[in-house]
Amino acid sequence: MHAAVIHAAHDVRFESVPDPVLSTGGDAIVRVVASCVCGSDLWPYRGVTETEEPKRIGHEFVGIVEQVGDDVSRVKVGDFVIAPFYDCDMTCVNCRNGFSTSCLEGGWWGADDRSGAFADGGQGEFVRVPHADGSLVATPEQPSDELIPHLLTLADVMGTGHHAAVSAGVGPGKTVVVVGDGAVGLCAVLASKRLGAERIVAMSRHESRQNLATRFGATDIVAERGDEGVDAIHAMFDGVGADCVLECVGTKESMDQALRSARPGGQVGFVGVPNGGPELPMRRMFGTNVGVRGGVAPVRNYIEELLPEVLSGSLEPGLVFDLELPLSEVAEAYSAMDERRAIKVLLRP
Amino acid sequence: MHAAVIHAAHDVRFESVPDPVLSTGGDAIVRVVASCVCGSDLWPYRGVTETEEPKRIGHEFVGIVEQVGDDVSRVKVGDFVIAPFYDCDMTCVNCRNGFSTSCLEGGWWGADDRSGAFADGGQGEFVRVPHADGSLVATPEQPSDELIPHLLTLADVMGTGHHAAVSAGVGPGKTVVVVGDGAVGLCAVLASKRLGAERIVAMSRHESRQNLATRFGATDIVAERGDEGVDAIHAMFDGVGADCVLECVGTKESMDQALRSARPGGQVGFVGVPNGGPELPMRRMFGTNVGVRGGVAPVRNYIEELLPEVLSGSLEPGLVFDLELPLSEVAEAYSAMDERRAIKVLLRP
C-alpha cells in the first residue's frame, strides 16, 4: 500500500510501505476513507521538532473496517469507524477516568504503542489499529459523503476544541475568549457555543477565519494581539477579563495572552501543544487565582457525546476543511497548511 | 497602643505605635480579642523575603468593633467580628465573582490598600479596618471563649484549607492527597472531609500532626517524601495517583510532589505561597492533563458558608492552635513556630 512518510523538514512523501497485517488478536485493519493534516503535524514539517529518520505520519482518519482479529467484538468488518488520534483500550483506569490519552496500553499512530504494538500512520491507504474495540467508534450506518468531513473532525480537532472548553469550565452564561484561529481554535468556538457560553470572543486577524468563527458562534472578534489584545479583552469584560480562556496555539506568547485575558478566579483551558513555552508563571497564577487545565485531549471519551449531533447535522465542525486533495498529493497538503493557504486539508485516497 | 513590628529577620518586637484613627467614613476600629502567627509570616521572619524597614505585621484577627465611620452600616459598635487576612469592599466585580483577594479597592494588613487607606497590622491591640462593611463579618451574638480559636481560623487557615480543596475539585467520592502538615494542610484535611472526600491521605512525618490529621478526617498517613512519597501514593491509588492533590507548602519540591501525586486528569489545588518554585512544568501538565488551580485564598467569600458549622461546634479547626501566648510575647510566638515547636500560636492581648 501507499502512505505518507516524513523524511525531514519540508519533505513529506507519498510512498510504498508494507501492507498492514493483523497480529495481536485485538487489532483491526481499516481502509481509510478520509484523513487530514493536523496543526501539530507542522512542527516536524517545519523542523521545530527534528525528524531523525523517515517516519510514518498522520493521526486523524475515518474508514471502513476490512479485517478484525479474533478477540475483537465491538466492531466488525464493514463498519464505518472513527479513530481518535491515538489508540486506547478504554478499559484501564485512566480510560475509565475519562483520560484515554493516558491509556496504560495505548499510544500514538506511526509508532509502537505502550503495549508494544505498531500502529500505522493515519495518512495512508490502510491503518492497522491496535485495541480496536477500545479505539474505534462505529457509526450506526454508513454515513453520506457530505458527513465525512464532519465525522473526521471527531478524530481530533472537534474533540480537542471541546476539551479546551471543558477544561476552561465553559458553560451557560460564561464569557469566553478563544486564543488561536486555526481549526482547533475554530472548533473551540463551536464547542463553547454548544456548551451555552453567553459571549464568545475569537481572536483572529484573518477574514476567512473570522467569518467561520462568527458562523460557529463567536459574538465578537478581536484582531489585536499582545498588550493591545489584552487591553481589548479587559475593556470588554468589566476591566478584569473573561471567565474562560481557551488557549489553542501552544506558544509562549499565546499562553501569556491567555493568562492575562482571564479574570481573577478565571480558568485557562489549554490544548495547544506546548512549543517554546514550557513553563507557567506560578506567582502570577497564585496572585490572580487563574487556573490552568488541559493538555492532550481525550477525544475518544468525547465521541459518543458529539457523534449524534454530527449525524443529525446540527453540529458542522467539518466546515474547518477548506481544501480537499487526493492522498497522493499529501506533500501539497502540508505546504498549503504551512503557508496558511488552507485552514485544514482533507485527504481522500 | 502596642503592636508587633518586624525590624529584620528574627527580630519581631512588641512596641508602641500610633493609635488608629477613623479616616475614610467607611472604616472601623476593632479591639483585637485574638490574633495569631501565619506560616507566611515566617518568610520575612526567616529572611527569605527581605524586610527593608520596620513594618507592622500580622493578618489574622478577631475582635470587637469599637468605632465605625459614618458610612458603615453592616457592622456596629460592640459587634464581635471576624476579619479576613485582607480588606475588601465585597461590591467590586472581583469580590462579586468570589475572588475578594483581588478586590479592586482592598489590600493587605500592615500597608496601604489599593484605595490608599492604611490598614494596621493584625498582631496589635487595635486595628483600623478599611471597607469595614465589606471586610468584617459579625457573629449573631458574642461567642464563648472556647469558640474564639475556631472563629479565628476563618480569618485565614480554615478558609485557605477550604480553598485548596475547592480549587482541587474535592467532593463526594473523591480521593485526596494533602501535601503539607502545617495549620493550612491540616485545615485542608478537615475541609476535604467536610466536602465528602472518600479517602484522604495526609503526608506528614510528625506524630502530633499525624494525630490531628487523623482527628480531622485523614484516612491514611504517608511519611515518605520525594520519589518514595510519590511511589507510596501511586501504590494506594491504582498505580496512577489521586483525583485531587492539595499543595499547602509553597516550595518547588512540594509542588513537584503534588503534580506527580495526581492521576492523569487529576487536579492540584495550591495555596502555599510560591517560594522558590515560581514556574510550573507545562509539558508535564499537557501530557498528563493534570490541572493546577488556586492561589491567595478568598477567605472572606467563604466565611458565611463555614461560620454556622463553627458556631454549632461541628467544625473545630481551632484545634490547629497548640500554643497560646500573650500578645506581648509575640517574639516567642514566632520563635516557636520557626523552630516547629508549635503548629500555630494564638495570641491574646
Q: What is the pLDDT of residues B190-226, one digit of tens each?
A: 999 999 999 999 999 999 999 999 999 999 999 999 9
Asked if residues B161 and B75 have their Cβ atoms less than 8 Å apart, the reply is no
For residue A287, count CB atoms less than 10 angstroms from its CB and return exposed for 0-12, middle for 13-18, buried for 19 or more. Answer: middle
Contact A286 B296 (CB under 8 A): yes
pLDDT for residue B325 is more than 90: yes
Work out the minimum CA distance from B267 to partner chain A, whole angstroms: 8
pLDDT for residue B277 is more than 60: no
Phi, psi of A299 (to 5 degrees): -65, -30
pLDDT for residue A48 is more than 70: yes
Instruction: Look at strands B126-129 and B118-119 and give their pairing.
Output: unpaired
Per-residue pLDDT averaged across A36-65, rounded? 94
pLDDT for residue B250 is more than 80: yes
More confident site: A274 or B98: B98
Per-residue pLDDT averaged across B10-25, rounded? 96
Per-residue pLDDT averaged across A87-108, rounded? 97
| CA gap A177, A269 in Å, rounded | 10
| CA gap A59, A170 in Å, rounded | 27
For residue B144, count CB atoms less than 10 angstroms from its CB and return exposed for 0-12, middle for 13-18, buried for 19 or more. Answer: exposed
* Residue A115 CB neighbour total at 10 angstroms: 16
Rounded to the nearest 10 degrees, the angle between the axes of helix B157-167 and helix B300-312 is: 110
Contact A240 B94 (CB under 8 A): yes
pLDDT, residue A180, reads 96
DSSP state of A142: P
CATH code for residues B2-156+298-348: 3.90.180.10
pLDDT band at A60 (very low <50, low <70, confident <90, very high): very high
pLDDT, residue A203, reads 98
pLDDT for residue B275 is more than 80: no
Task: Name the residue facing A93 among B98, B240, B270 (closest C-beta).
Answer: B240
| CA gap B130, B110 in Å, rounded | 12
Shortest CA distance from A243: residue in chain B: B97
pLDDT band at A280 (very low <50, low <70, confident <90, very high): confident
pLDDT band at A279 (very low <50, low <70, confident <90, very high): confident
pLDDT band at A247 (very low <50, low <70, confident <90, very high): very high
pLDDT, residue B273, reads 80
Contact B292 A298 (CB under 8 A): no
Q: State the alpha helices, DSSP H only, in A206-322.
A: 207-216, 226-236, 252-261, 282-288, 300-312
pLDDT, residue A260, reads 97
pLDDT, residue B276, reads 61
pLDDT for residue B92 is more than 80: yes
**Contacting residues of A for B298, CB less than 8 Å apart:** 265, 289
Which residues, numbered 50 to 109 in chain A, qualify as contacts with chain B under a Cβ-Cβ cut-off of 8 Å? 93-94, 97-99, 101-102
pLDDT band at A256 (very low <50, low <70, confident <90, very high): very high
Q: Percent of chain B having pLDDT more than 70?
A: 99
Contact A285 B280 (CB under 8 A): yes
Q: Which residues pair with A129 in a beta bridge?
A: A28
CATH code for residues A157-294: 3.40.50.720
C-alpha cell at A187: 472548533
Work out the minimum CA distance from B66 to partner chain A, whole angstroms: 32
Q: Which of the residue ranges A279-293, B52-66, B84-98, B277-291 would you say has the lowest mean pLDDT?
A: B277-291
pLDDT, residue A218, reads 98
More confident site: B48 or A138: A138
Phi, psi of A155 (to 5 degrees): -70, -25
Per-residue pLDDT averaged across B316-324, rounded? 97
Q: Percent of chain A having pLDDT more than 90?
A: 90
Q: ipTM of this predicted complex? A: 0.95
Phi-psi region of B239 (alpha: psi -120 to 50; beta: other; left: phi over 0): left
**Contacting residues of B for A264, CB less than 8 Å apart:** 94, 97, 99, 101-102
Closest CA relative to residue A144, chosen from A29, A311, A347, A337: A311
pLDDT band at B176 (very low <50, low <70, confident <90, very high): very high
Residue A280 in contact with partner chain B when CB distance is under 8 A: yes
C-alpha cell at A212: 467561520
pLDDT for residue A334 is more than 60: yes
Give the tens place of pLDDT for each residue, B106-133: 999 988 888 888 888 999 999 999 999 9
pLDDT, residue A275, reads 72
Q: Percent of chain A having pLDDT more than 70?
A: 99
Write down the mean pLDDT value for chain B. 96
Please report, for chain B, the start and end positions of each structural domain, with discontinuous segments joined by +.
2-156+298-348, 157-294
pLDDT for residue B278 is more than 70: no
Contact B267 A292 (CB under 8 A): no
Q: Which of the residue ranges A48-57, A267-276, A291-300, B233-242 would you say has the lowest mean pLDDT?
A: A267-276
| CA gap A189, A162 in Å, rounded | 9
C-alpha cell at A166: 471543558
Rounded to the nearest 10 degrees, the angle between the axes of helix A183-194 and helix A157-167 is: 60
Task: Name the residue facing B280 among A97, A98, A280 (closest C-beta).
Answer: A280
| CA gap A208, B167 in Å, rounded | 39
